[in-house]
Amino acid sequence: MSTAGPELPGLDDLFDADRREGPAEQLRALRDVLVRLPMLGAFNASLVHAQLPGAHYVATRAQWRRDFAREVRPGARPLVVLRPYAPVDFVFDVSQTDGRPLPEGILAPFRVRGPVTADGVAWFESLLPRRGIAVAAAPVSGSETATDPGAGGAPDPDASGALDPDASEAMDGQARLLDPPETAEIAPGRIVEQRHVIVLDAALAPATRLATLFRELGHVLCEHLPHPADAAGGRSRRRDLTGVGEAQRALEAECTAWLLCERLGLAVPAGEHLSALLADDADAPPFSVHAVVRAVNSIESWARGLETLARRIAGDPAPDDQVDAHPEQGAFDLEALRGEGTADDADAAGIADAAGDEDAPGAASDLTG
């Protein structure tokens, strides 16, 4: 299940340690973990699963007592989770506690309620330029110029602006390098270098457009499109892409979109390569769990967490500063448990640091990743 080549970072080591299941079953297990633990970011959910398979809901000892009238059983083994720019924290699963039953619908805030709206997708797109990723709309074919859908100054992706019908995944969207980089003003006087552009078919329905965005962000965040400026600036690329072919790259991007949609409760058909893997196709390529989970984690943290993402893409116009009104995020204070990003992840794919540390995926303000 791991990526080809000599590099096996982080979660790839954990998943490769147990080869009793095939890649398809391992992917289904990863999906079950991420869907079952939406109160955690993707990295922390994976870490909790590695320590206690089958964990369903986690909180600190104090949170169980204060917010759920439950006590941790004597001798229960704490589970380690990561905190952004800070030491680890210790949590316990509900199975390690006694007390009142958990409230019904406790996971509902993390699922999309209602259809995905055009305004909701536009809100998500508006987050990307500060990460160095422009968004442009284009026809599938023809010579019309690409247009900016309101995502913060997206440049023309190429001379024609049209999606290339001969390129991989061209019929709905493509992630491309911007070389030389363009710039976008994300706030008065604040300029961010744009190193990638995601070109989308302008006719896509909102839910399909969102899933396509997730997939193409998977390409960027799984480091399939390393920018020449990274090497020129002395930044070493963390991921060795030796032996990582087009099929594996497509699969990793499809897995990123699929896992995000599953966590949000959105029914989206699996892509070609993912469908082959889930069908136990022997010819399905390997993929890097670490790369996929990091991509999911970054996208959620950019949106200030899964609950905010679910609410906003459904068109809820409430300001972000009201997100902590829900007890699972306010009084329950799960913010610290979702923010597993680290300084190493802050410049994932070489683009996040363009907007400054306060906007990095693992920054203190992005505690819901």
**Model confidence pLDDT, tens digit, residues 75-113:** 999 999 998 777 899 999 999 999 999 998 888 889 998
pLDDT attached to residue 99? 96
Confidence label for 161 from pLDDT (cuts 50, 70 and 90): very low
Report residue 284's pLDDT band, with 50, 70 and 90 as the boundaries: confident
Q: How far apart are the first and last CA of the chain?
A: 24
> 242-264 b/e with 16+ CB inside 10 Å = b?
eebeebbbbbbbbbbbbbbbbbb
* Residue 324, pLDDT above cutoff 80: no
pLDDT value at 295 more than 70? yes
Residue with tokens 């270098």: 193
Q: 61-70, 143-152, 323-332 — which is least confidently predicted?
A: 323-332
Whole-number pLDDT of residue 239: 81
pTM to 2 decimals? 0.78
Query: How long is the chain?
Result: 369
pLDDT above 90 covers what percent of the chain? 48
Going by pLDDT thresholds of 50, 70 and 90, the confidence category of residue 206 is very high
Contact call for residues 196 and 135 (beta carbons, < 8 A): no
Residue 164 vs residue 76, higher pLDDT: 76
Q: Specify which of 148-152, 185-189, 326-330 reaches the highest per-range mean pLDDT.
A: 185-189
Residue 351 has pLDDT above 50, yes or no: no
d(CA 102, CA 105): 9
Backbone dihedral region of 269: left (phi > 0), alpha (psi from -120 to 50 degrees) or beta? beta
Contacts of 360 (CB under 8 A, 6+ apart): 341, 346, 347, 352, 353, 366
pLDDT band at 138, cuts 50/70/90?
confident
The upper half-sphere exposure of residue 113, i.e. CA atoms within 13 Å in the direction of its Cβ, equals 9
Burial of 73 from C-beta contacts in 10 A (0-12 / 13-18 / 19+):
exposed
